[in-house]
Amino acid sequence: MTFGIVTNVKQVCVWLGYSYLFIRVRMNSLAHGIGWSKMVVDLTLSSNHRSLVIDFAHHSEYENIFARS
């Protein structure tokens, strides 16, 4: 996001699907705060990706982590 490679929520969600975090969450979802009921409903964790991205965006905007150009 900071380098302009990923520019919107949809792209970040796709990127997360290829990340090591996604593999770790799939292997041990309970350790990452995702219950079995969520895993059964959403095997790709797309709704979880979206909520993580949006929460991070709100937090980073509040903390002014990213400079706006």
d(CA 48, CA 69): 29
Residue 69 lies in a domain: no
Residue 1 lies in a domain: no
pLDDT for the residue numbered 64: 64
pTM as predicted: 0.57
d(CA 1, CA 14): 13
Name the DSSP class of 32.
Answer: G
CATH of residue 19's domain is: 1.10.10.10
Domain that holds residue 35: 9-63
pLDDT for the residue numbered 18: 79
> What are the distances in angstroms from CA 35 to CA 9, 27, 30, 44, 48?
23, 12, 6, 14, 11
pLDDT tens digit sequence for 2-58: 556 777 788 877 877 777 778 888 888 888 788 888 888 887 778 888 888 888 877
